[in-house]
Amino acid sequence: MSDVLDGPGVQPDLKVVGTRPIRPDGADKVTGRAAFGADFNMPGQLVGKILRSPHAHAKIVSIDTRKARALPGVKAVVTGADFPNLASEMHEGGEAASNLRDLAMNVIARDKALYDGHAVAAVAATSSAIADEALRLITVTYEVLPHVIDVEAAMSPDAPVLHAHLFTEGLEVRPTSASNVARRNQITRGDLAEGFAAADVIVEGRYTTQAVHQGYIEPHACVAAWVEDGQCDVWSSSQGQFMVRTYCAKILGLEISDIRVTPAEIGGGFGGKTTVYLEPLALALSRQSGHPVKMVMTREEVFRATGPTSGAVILVKLGAKVDGTMTAAEVELKYQAGAFPGSPVGAGSMTALACYDIPNFLITGWDVVTNSPKVAAYRAPGAPIAAFGVESAVDDLARKLGMDPLALRERNGVRNGVKAAYGPTFQNIGYLETLAAIKDCPQYSLPLGPNQGRGVAAGFWFNVGGESTAAVHVNEDGSVVVVTGNPDIGGSRAAMAMMAAETLGVPMQRVRPRIADTASIGFSMLTGGSRTTFATGMAVVQAAEKVVADLKRRAALLWEVPADKVEWRNGAAVCLDPAKADPKPMTLEILAGQSARTGGPISAQVSLNAQGAGPGFGVHVCDVEIDPETGHVTVLRYTAAQDVGKAIHPSYVEGQVQGGVAQGVGWALNEEYIFDSDGRMENAGFLDYRVPVASDLPMIDTILVEVANPRHPFGAKGVGEVPIVPPLAAVANAIRSAIGVRMADLPLSPPKIRAVMDARAS
């Protein structure tokens, strides 16, 4: 089932927006022609490979690369010593801020290896086999240090300290000794003690999640060439060619204009490709060798060395009146950051209570470094973890109050005019409509069989805007090219072409979207935070509007009428001047053909910093069946409703929702990083890191609730992140309903469920 429910503010007369055309890059992708990161080669390229730390925490005493350099076919060897030491400096990246010093040290270790898989050296050779052999010939002398991965263990005063310079920020008193706690943040309102005193019913819970990986199917890959005059070319698969350019320039100490980054097609990112791992190494190897260098990660490297998201501990306490009115909430979030500060606990804190209007609350977040790969953004970074705790507790509260879980959420749900827990006042949100959509959906009232259970959960994401550039060019035959600077991860080209076509009044097939390299279009922040359709889409529409204004001017010139006597209708200029005897409308085609006589090529570019992305809400219902003897969970049915603003291409919006749900279900049931006692990842492959396969899932029904965002020309809100927020708790709540016991430690794998069944029986 896939429903689209038109809500307030949606424009009724759209011709292209809201339809489901075939995506412009579709044929390339179904025929194997589309070139992804590893599909590109440069003449004379070498193979680059990385030597990684086998220790979770170790001092690097020395690195001897002499034998490797002496091996015939080896053209370059680099270590941390080949890179400048950067000062601590924050860089706002689009989805999350990064400290450039840490970023550089994550790309290649300097005096310490901070996790199993941390890069310590890299080589470039004429073949893959020679590069492998060269890695074996590098001798690294380590002094192995005690390590810590568990977040609460890392917070303890006697934990091994990762960074001697790290002093907890955000405390009333600055600590006098270094620790693994990078920061504490707090958000509070009202009087917590009073709020709990006013409550008739209180629920409390402690919840844990494990680190999980974004799990994009395409491993990181790039080719980099350093030309002798210092100009560089990078071809890579990332969520932002401009991000790659900036980070490479900073890490290698280069001028930004000396680097051109061409975006390859990207085989999934989900936030995990919002940073660099390979590109600076490939450039350094290319500089040393004088050859282009290609680097492609193995799947094992992807797991061991690129961003998972945090494992966490979540403490939740909720208080409510007997009628369900929530009076107080206390939430404490402890997130693993991995080897360097910067877990998404800030966003976790801001989103934790965003669905609720509660007068008294305190949210405390802890950002904690651990000997595991530095976390990277993962779809609605931080929010699913917080929501797992809060939505599980809300479910328990509903049970204790004897209320329907949707009714409890509705009673306390945020609506327009309510001040959000994280600050601003909500406008044009569709949370209540989304709750209602689930209440009315067929699944919610289907009867359940034995060992079956049903759970609901809600979720929230801000969605972001930010800086984007778009250019619209009208060709001499009236066809149109739209150029943007945002990699297309999930069909955004289609949305760009549709919005341009709608604005110009031409069929979508006449508009071809292209994604340009960093030298061919103005700056755009990366594709992330669900910003592209909103922010880059806004730039496209504004550029198309500029073109329309120009076309009207040109038509007026040809008709010799004042500009205000021309209107643009259905892709053509119409003359409103009655004095002119029946001038036929001038189509885009005609005007394009005459462009030389009216001022030259027709084209416009817009750069903007979009604000007002419009937050999104999702409500999910999940039905499960448990095998009580084995603890195996089957997801029987799933419906996800989401406030999407206006769905530009509903199929791709549904696809975003379904993909987010699938990832969330995997997170809930089976996915986790498993470390051995030495801190080495034990399941760095898809056989034992268990993402959902096709037979694990049912069809995922979607309901797109359209409550338009007035800040966007067609009402769009970001849609990609919200859907991963509710599933963790939706699944856990369904299991709670099936077995009668609250399971609070993800993943909810068969052994854990069987253990609970046994405990319940005895």
By a kind-dependent CB cut-off of 5 to 8 A, residue 152 interacts, out of other proteins, ligand FES, none, with none
The residue among 126 and 475 lying less far from other proteins, judged by its C-beta, is 126
Smallest gap from residue 666 Cβ to ligand FES (A): 13
The CA distance from 73 to 419, in Å, is: 64
217 binds other proteins (CB under 8 A): yes
What is the nearest approach in angstroms of other proteins to the Cβ of residue 284?
Answer: 24
Q: At 261, which helix (H) or strand (E)?
A: strand 259-263
Q: Based on CB atoms, which residue is closest to other proteins, 157 or 751?
A: 751
Q: Which does 694 bind (CB under 5 to 8 A by kind): other proteins, ligand FES, none?
A: other proteins
Residue type at 309 in one-letter notation: T
Choosing among ligand FES, other proteins, none, which partner's interface includes residue 33 (Cβ < 5 to 8 Å by kind)?
A: other proteins
- Which residues sit opposite 63 in a β-bridge? 140
751 binds, among other proteins, ligand FES, none (CB under 5 to 8 A by kind): other proteins
Nearer to ligand FES, 270 or 568 (CB): 270
27 binds, among ligand FES, other proteins, none (CB under 5 to 8 A by kind): other proteins
Q: How far is the CB of 724 from ligand FES (least distance, A)?
A: 15
Token look-up 């300097």 returns 110
215 binds other proteins, rule: CB under 8 A? yes
The β-bridge relationship of strands 259-263 and 232-236 is parallel
Q: Are 444 and 74 in contact (CB under 8 A)?
A: no
Ramachandran angles phi, psi of 656, nearest 5°: -60, -45
Cis amide bond preceding 747, omega within 30: yes
| Smallest distance from other proteins to CB 296, Å | 8
DSSP conformation class of 382: T
What is the rounded distance in angstroms from the CA atom of residue 543 to the CA atom of residue 123? 45
**Cα torsion through 720, 215, 220, 147, rounded to 10:** 120
- Our finding on whether 150 is near other proteins (CB under 8 A) is no
Q: List binders of other proteins among 655-684 (CB under 8 A).
A: 655-656, 658-663, 669-670, 674, 682-683
Minimum distance from residue 658 beta carbon to ligand FES (Å) = 11
Among 381, 366, 361, which residue's Cα sits nearest to residue 187? Answer: 361
State how far the Cα of 744 lies from the Cα of 722, in Å rounded to an integer.
22
Angstrom distances, CA of residue 716 to CA of 17, 496, 513, 531, 613: 10, 12, 19, 10, 8
- What residue 298 binds from other proteins, ligand FES, none (CB within 5 to 8 A, per partner kind)? other proteins
Least distance (Å) between residue 196 CB and ligand FES: 46
Question: CB-wise, 612 or 655, nearer to ligand FES?
Answer: 655
Select the binding partner of residue 687 from other proteins, ligand FES, none (C-beta < 5 to 8 A, by kind): other proteins
Min dist CB 534 to ligand FES, Å, is: 21
Find tokens 């620790």 and name the residue: 179
Contacts with other proteins: how many residues (CB under 8 A)?
A: 80
Contacting other proteins within 285-314 (CB under 8 A): 296, 298-300
Q: Which of residues 23-52 bind other proteins (CB under 8 A)?
A: 23, 25-36, 38-39
H or E, element range at 55: none
Per CB under 6 A, residues contacting ligand FES are 217, 268
Is residue 270 involved in binding other proteins (CB under 8 A)?
Answer: yes
Residue 156 binds other proteins, judged by CB under 8 A: no
Beta carbon nearer to ligand FES, 292 or 650:
650
In our burial notation (b when 16+ CB lie closer than 10 A, e otherwise), range 330-361 reads bbbbbbbbbbbbbbbbbbbbbbbbbbbbbebb
Q: Is 218 or 395 the residue whose CB approaches other proteins more closely?
A: 218
Identify which of residues 41 and 611 has a Cβ nearer to other proteins in the complex: 41
Amino acid in the structure at residue 555: A
Q: State which residue, 149 or 657, has the beta carbon closest to ligand FES.
A: 657
Shortest Å distance, C-beta 322 to other proteins = 40
The correct pick among 20, 59, 91, 415 for binding other proteins (CB under 8 A) is 20
Q: Specify the residue for token string 């790969």.
A: 373
Picked from other proteins, ligand FES, none, the partner binding residue 291 (CB below 5 to 8 A depending on kind) is none
Give the one residue of 266, 331, 408, 458 binding other proteins; rule: CB under 8 A. 266
What's the rounded Cα separation, in Å, for the pair 194 and 216?
Answer: 47
Q: Any idea how long the chain is?
A: 762
Location of structure tokens 């900073």: 250
State which of positions 679-708 bind other proteins (CB under 8 A).
682-683, 685-688, 690-697, 699-700
Burial pattern 462-484, b for ≥16 Cβ within 10 A else e, equals: bbbbbbbbbbbbbbeebbbbbbb
Q: How far is the CB of 116 from ligand FES (least distance, A)?
A: 23
DSSP bridge partners of 516 = none
- Residues contacting 56, CB < 8 A, separation 6+: 114, 115, 116, 147, 149, 371, 372, 675, 678, 679, 680
59 makes contact, choosing from other proteins, ligand FES, none, with CB < 5 to 8 Å by partner type, with none
Give the separation between CA 362 and CA 418, rounded to whole angstroms. Answer: 18
Q: How far is the CB of 627 from other proteins (least distance, A)?
A: 9
User: What is d(CA 83, CA 119) in angstroms, rounded to the nearest whole number?
Assistant: 13
Of 308, 310, 306, the residue nearest 209 (C-alpha)? 310
Q: Nearer to ligand FES by C-beta: 219 or 311?
A: 219
| x/- letters, 474..513, toward other proteins (CB under 8 A) | ---------------xxx----------------------
**Rounded to an integer, what distance in angstroms lies between the CA atom of residue 279 and that of residue 293?**
10
Instruction: Compare residues 10 and 212 and give the one whose CB is closer to other proteins.
Output: 212
Q: Does 725 bind other proteins (CB under 8 A)?
A: no
Cβ contact 249:255 at 8 Å:
yes
